[in-house]
Structure 1
Amino acid sequence: MTKKNWREASIYQIYPKSFNDANGDGIGDIQGIREKIPYLKELGIDMVWLTPMQPSPQKDNGYDVSDYCAINPVYGTIEEFKVLLEELHAEGIDMMLDMVLNHTSTEHHWFQEAKKSKDNPYHDYYIWREGEPETLPNNWQSKFGGSSWAYNDATSEFYLHLFDVTQADLDWRNPKVREEIKAVLKFWADLGVDGFRLDVINLISKDDTFPDDYVGDGRRFYTDGEHVHAYLNEINTEVFTPYGILTVGEMSSTSMEACIQYTQPENKELDMTFNFHHLKVDYKDGDKWQLKDMDFSQLKTLLSDWQTGMQAGGGWNALFWCNHDQPRIVSRYGNDSVEYREKSAKMLALAMHGLQGTPYIYQGEEIGATNPKWRSIDEFMDVESTNMFEIMIKEGRTEAEAFETVCQRSRDNSRTPIPWSSADNAGFTTGKPWLKIAENYTTINVTEALERKDSVFYFYQHLIALRKAEKTLVNGLFKRQDQDDAAVFAYDRVDGKEVLRVAANFTDETVTFEWSEDIRLAETLLTNYEGEATTYQTKVQLRPYESIIWKGETLA
């Protein structure tokens, strides 16, 4: 893939710890990824995104980096990394690395020096506030629960940690920090890395008056901050553009207006952004740890508004349902029953991949992997999940209520090892897996999916190929067509007179849907009811979880 055609690419996310274990220690590794390059090639993806593999104490599964320019020995060596990169490139697959630049581990050399004294040259690499141990600088809350401030006795100061107490926020106001960041990025770019996914990058500019938040948890004072665009332009000018690097920013609690600004090409900041609003429509009162059914109307409105808003503003979306922080989408917005798992997994895939933007596929999504069945809180490894379990109980919920919430919301749902086969430990490892494997691995696994041409895997393969064949999928404007139908998400992609028309039934019932505008010469490009495709009609009947994309022309 070259930078010029990235908009028609499909990107596959690998969570190395859970992808494939080659040495039998129960943890995925670089050699394990190398073994599966033929699998990635068969799927047809253009780039792999690897979540952090740098040295880390693993308090947040690698998103607490202790050395930016090395490989964690549990995954392999820097030499093995170089070989992996070469072998991917030989197969026409580019590599994107996950860079955690908002914060470091407190075990990082910079922080170990910074905490010694206020005179230490590394002290100003982090964000500090003076005070007494009992008096917090403000009431900002950590995203993992509790205060976002921790006390350092040696300097009689608090340091800011928007995430775990072991993840200290860097002070991007300091030009030396920005120079260090640019050096880190250049280190990996010089090795030949093709892209960077920038973790919570819209949090790097904080309100340096650090006011109390009397209506929220503090995030409005550090999200899409005053200087974030200037910082990203600086990094882009000195690193991304000179090296031809593809970039995607993870945007926490962001706005559309901010994402347009991040991704407008003339601003020279980022190529595309992840936003998570569409994955909060099952949050009661906006709270991740309060359960409710998915609000389908809100889901469609959010997807549609971000499509029309970003295209009008000249921005670009990263399209996704799943990642390492989200539960499995087929268990969440689909139907993971034996009867409907595959149909709903394919429906969700088509509904998302038909939109304008660059699609991301998270490992296991391409075989319709589900959430595992959790038996005990002791099975969870995710620090956010275990912290919130304790917090919910302290707030008055029963253990059963707190456990059910964690089962549905935990990031560990997507982090369970990939089921490669029905063999012991799902073919992931010959040792003891670091995290439990979903119990349905004997029926839902890669080997089984590759043996059936009607499997979810081959549906994703067709979708990836379709994006390259049909330029309207890349360039066409989005136009919503469903008029807030209670069961169907329907839209057009229009480029001149050509129309790609998508319909997706999100229910387990047969429904009738009528288009408000007709098209002509419609042909079926792809459907999840293989061998029995529904012919295009102005008034069409859609079977349970049926999804179709037709190609036709406007009547005008």
Structure 2
Amino acid sequence: MASWWKEAVAYQIYPRSFKDSNGDGIGDLNGITEKLDYLKDLGIDLIWICPMYKSPNDDNGYDISDYQEIMAEFGTMADFDRLLEQVHARGMRLIIDLVVNHTSDEHPWFLESRSSRDNPKRDWYTWRDGKNGAEPNNWEGIFKGSTWEFDPVTEQYFLHLFTRRQPDLNWENHDVRRAVYDMMRWWLDKGIDGFRIDAIAHLKKEPLLADVPNPDKLRYAPSMKSHLNYDGLLDYVDDMSRNVLQHYDIVTVGEMNGLFADHAEEWVGEHRNRLSMVFQFEHVRLWEPEAGLRPEPGVLKKIFTAWQEALEGKGWNALYVENHDLTRITSRWGDTEHHWRESATCIAALYFLMQGTPFIYQGQEIGMTNTRFNSHDDFDDVSAKNMWREMEAQGKSEEEIIAFLTNTGRDNSRTPMQWNAWPNAGFSDGEPWFKVNANFEMINVASQQQDPDSVLNFYRALIQLRKKERALIYGRYELELADNPQIYAYRRVLDGAEFVVLCNMSSKSARWTSDELPLEWAECVLGNYPQVDELYRLHPWEARIYKLA
């Protein structure tokens, strides 16, 4: 079934780092509005903005203290209304983050809940007595450390899967759900076009909150089983859908750690009326930073193909390789030392033309890379700081810790957007809240707009090609060259139209034969090298898209 959101190309914005409009060094809503023409020219149809709500910023905005106010650093609700109006005026749409697994500990709901044990909102969060002089259970949090924080006011512990300042809402409580649904309707009635639903996989917890086995060995993985995609979670999703989602023409994207292809249809099957798409985590967990190993093409083929085949004719994929929680894809999967442009564009072609809605994270379209860190003070992310403390306690040296966090830290994707080669990369007239990547003079929007062979213009060409050819949107996916150790190739087929996407995911030349995949009668409609030197040979990180006669 055709849908506007299936045909869209989406772009994710991390407001703090996108564009500062008032010189305070912090990106803001008016900065986004300034750059809408850039996004429209790129070919973007759908914009996803990370949290811009009022927040004390313990987790960079994912700790919300008021769902219906704008963080002062980002502007005002009038600024948001203007942004939404200008997005729609350009024929684009806008979705925002829905963060309802937890709130900030400064949210009025939590302030009431913690005020006394008999407060009507006490059960809006999860409170428990300690056990044998210790915490209620031995679960470890997603950002390390315990999932419990002692509250001296009422002398009980509250549950928090993320930071200690992000208490988890109790979704078993129907009043919590009604309050959340009222808030969602408020935003939808304002005119937004949907939600990316943060941490939706964690809403349901193991009811008894029982200890996990072997707590001193790999605590994190056992703990996750107690609150990750737990049985009964879909009941919450159905309730949300019945009460809110089904009543609007919107798109919803669930953040779904722990979901695999064999259960994907349960979440996004079109007849189920649950979510439009999910961000699955399988492919982004592949890289081994300690060893510096990129994922083998064969493993990528297995994961992507499983998702493509599982949802063929049943549901829809969300296609992505970068976001605000991941390191930069060209540093993670590509070869920034020898083939920066080629690997950035090859990875783009690889994921972008599969069946699904492609998402681009800000800066990905110009091949932004991981940054450099020199000391503890260079890190901003709460999870990186927690990891620093843990590794330090394990006896790791400062050099070892910096090396690990340089390869894995979320701060890599949160450096300011590189607009030009001016001071601060054109992000701000003031001192940026976070240090700009030192390579901004080489990698920036302004220089790439003038270069027909740039990463930016390759993304623009990909978008134009996808919009032109319905087979690249709705066509069936078929894996090709399944056993080739370097080349990821797949076919898209719809009503007699056929395309083949070929990507050499390595820094060495790669070959195949005409018996394996004949292309003598095919036209190369896009590639990331100037010309096709040899039909059955790909240069390092070369990508080609063929249209078959």
What amino acid is the match of 1:390? R
* SS of residue paired to 2:67: coil
* 1:28 and 2:33 aligned: no
Query: Contact 1:224–1:258 (CA<8 Å) still a contact in 2?
Result: no
* 1:110 and 2:115 aligned: no
Q: Please state how far the C-alpha of 1:518 moved relative to its aligned partner.
A: 3.6
Structure 2 CA distance for aligned equivalents of residues 506 and 435 of structure 1: 32
- Which of 221-230 and 18-27 deviates more? 221-230
Equivalent residue number for residue 491 of structure 1: 490
Equivalent residue number for residue 11 of structure 2: 12
Query: Contact 2:260–2:282 (CA<8 Å) still a contact in 1?
Result: no
What amino acid is the match of 2:410? R
Count of residue pairs brought into register by the alignment: 541
Structure 2 CA distance for aligned equivalents of residues 521 and 111 of structure 1: 65
Equivalent residue number for residue 301 of structure 1: 302
Q: Deviations over 1:507-528 (max 9, x none)?
A: 1221212363446731112111
User: Deviation above 4 Å: which 4+ runs of structure 1?
Assistant: none
Q: Please state how far the C-alpha of 1:255 moved relative to its aligned partner.
A: 2.5
Equivalent residue number for residue 275 of structure 2: 270
- Which of 155-164 and 347-356 deviates more? 155-164
Structure 1 CA distance for aligned equivalents of residues 162 and 133 of structure 2: 20
Equivalent residue number for residue 403 of structure 2: 404
* 1:317 and 2:304 aligned: no
Equivalent residue number for residue 332 of structure 1: 332
Query: Contact 2:282–2:303 (CA<8 Å) still a contact in 1?
Result: yes
Q: Please state how far the C-alpha of 1:45 moved relative to its aligned partner.
A: 0.5
Q: Please state how far the C-alpha of 1:217 moved relative to its aligned partner.
A: 3.3
What amino acid is the match of 1:295? P
Equivalent residue number for residue 174 of structure 1: 173
Query: Contact 1:3–1:246 (CA<8 Å) still a contact in 2?
Result: no
Are residues 55 and 364 of structure 1, via their aligned partners in 2, closer, same or farther at CA, if it must alter by over 3 Å?
A: same
What amino acid is the match of 2:537? Q
Q: Please state how far the C-alpha of 1:464 moved relative to its aligned partner.
A: 1.3
What amino acid is the match of 1:257? D
Are residues 151 and 257 of structure 1, via their aligned partners in 2, closer, same or farther at CA, if it must alter by over 3 Å?
A: farther
Q: Please state how far the C-alpha of 1:133 moved relative to its aligned partner.
A: 8.3
Q: Deviations over 1:445-491 (max 9, x none)?
A: 11111111211111111111222211111222222112232211111
Task: Note the residue ranges of structure 2 that are not aligned, 5 or more in a row.
Answer: 215-220
* SS of residue paired to 1:434: coil
Structure 1 CA distance for aligned equivalents of residues 481 and 71 of structure 2: 49
Corresponding residue to 2:547 among 527, 551, 556: 551
Q: Deviations over 1:308-332 (max 9, x none)?
A: 22327x2321101100000000111
Q: Let me know the Cα RMSD of the aligned residues.
A: 1.8
Query: Contact 1:9–1:467 (CA<8 Å) still a contact in 2?
Result: no
Structure 2 CA distance for aligned equivalents of residues 520 and 494 of structure 1: 18
Query: Contact 2:374–2:402 (CA<8 Å) still a contact in 1?
Result: no
Structure 2 CA distance for aligned equivalents of residues 256 and 207 of structure 1: 23
What amino acid is the match of 1:299? L
Structure 2 CA distance for aligned equivalents of residues 438 and 235 of structure 1: 41
Structure 1 CA distance for aligned equivalents of residues 47 and 150 of structure 2: 39
Q: Deviations over 1:139-197 (max 9, x none)?
A: 21101011111112222322111111111111111000110111111111111100100
Q: Please state how far the C-alpha of 1:3 moved relative to its aligned partner.
A: 8.7
Equivalent residue number for residue 218 of structure 2: none
* SS of residue paired to 1:480: strand
Structure 1 CA distance for aligned equivalents of residues 395 and 317 of structure 2: 40
Q: Please state how far the C-alpha of 1:395 moved relative to its aligned partner.
A: 2.0
Query: Contact 1:291–1:405 (CA<8 Å) still a contact in 2?
Result: no
* SS of residue paired to 1:27: coil
Query: Contact 1:18–1:27 (CA<8 Å) still a contact in 2?
Result: yes
Q: Deviations over 1:258-286 (max 9, x none)?
A: 432110111111000001111111247xx
Q: Please state how far the C-alpha of 1:238 moved relative to its aligned partner.
A: 2.2
Equivalent residue number for residue 378 of structure 2: 379
Structure 2 CA distance for aligned equivalents of residues 129 and 514 of structure 1: 65
- Which of 253-262 and 115-124 deviates more? 253-262
Equivalent residue number for residue 157 of structure 2: 158
Task: Note the residue ranges of structure 1 that are not aligned, 5 or more in a row.
Answer: 285-289
What amino acid is the match of 1:550? Y
- Residues 218-367 of structure 1 mapped to structure 2, 5 A cutoff: 218-283=223-288, 290-296=290-296, 297-311=298-312, 314-337=314-337, 339-367=338-366
Instruction: Percent identity, please.
Output: 39
What amino acid is the match of 1:416? T
Equivalent residue number for residue 84 of structure 1: 83
* SS of residue paired to 1:502: strand
- Residues 386-535 of structure 1 mapped to structure 2, 5 A cutoff: 386-514=385-513, 516-518=516-518, 521-530=521-530, 532-533=531-532
* SS of residue paired to 1:105: coil
* SS of residue paired to 1:349: helix
Structure 1 CA distance for aligned equivalents of residues 280 and 253 of structure 2: 11
Query: Contact 1:133–1:151 (CA<8 Å) still a contact in 2?
Result: no
Query: Contact 1:144–1:163 (CA<8 Å) still a contact in 2?
Result: yes
Structure 1 CA distance for aligned equivalents of residues 300 and 387 of structure 2: 26
Equivalent residue number for residue 541 of structure 1: 537
Structure 2 CA distance for aligned equivalents of residues 492 and 541 of structure 1: 18
Query: Contact 2:353–2:473 (CA<8 Å) still a contact in 1?
Result: no
Structure 2 CA distance for aligned equivalents of residues 292 and 155 of structure 1: 48
Query: Contact 2:131–2:137 (CA<8 Å) still a contact in 1?
Result: no
Q: Please state how far the C-alpha of 1:254 moved relative to its aligned partner.
A: 2.2
Are residues 133 and 447 of structure 1, via their aligned partners in 2, closer, same or farther at CA, if it must alter by over 3 Å?
A: farther
Are residues 175 and 505 of structure 1, via their aligned partners in 2, closer, same or farther at CA, if it must alter by over 3 Å?
A: same
* SS of residue paired to 1:493: strand
